[in-house]
Amino acid sequence: MQPPQPDSPSADPTAQALVDDSFVPVRAKLIEVAAFLDRVERHGVDDDFRCQALNKAAQVLLDGEPERARRILESLSDPTTEPDEVSTGKPAVGAWQDPASQ
């Protein structure tokens, strides 16, 4: 069996298996996101920039447009273009924070 070609929808009957096999695990991940947002709100840390970035990124799921994964990754990325002068010495945390807002 050949893979679907880029830019063309798959007519393969196994396409239904994408839903059959993956729906429950993906459903669980979405509930994890919801529970996480509930949790940080309940504990009063939902104003953390990472939680706010996650809320903003989640809006992509609702806009009905394609390439959701790419756009969510871009939403969480550093949008600047020049190298940083010095290292903060800290690891990446998963969401970009404007230094001016720190």
Residue selected from 42, 44, 85, 101 as contacting other proteins according to rule CB under 8 A: 85
How many CA atoms, within 13 angstroms, populate the side-chain half-sphere of residue 44? 0
94 binds other proteins (CB under 8 A): yes
65 binds other proteins (CB under 8 A): no
Cβ atoms of residues 39 and 53 within 8 Å: no
CB of 46: closest distance to other proteins in angstroms?
Answer: 19
Residue selected from 44, 64, 91, 99 as contacting other proteins according to rule CB under 8 A: 91
Angle between helix 49-58 and helix 15-42 axes, rounded to 10 deg: 150
CA–CA distance from 73 to each of 18, 76, 87, 88 (Å)? 22, 5, 22, 22
21 binds other proteins (CB under 8 A): yes
Q: Which residues would be at the binding site for other proteins (CB under 8 A)? A: 1-4, 6, 12, 14, 17-18, 21-22, 67, 69-71, 73-74, 76-81, 83-88, 91-96
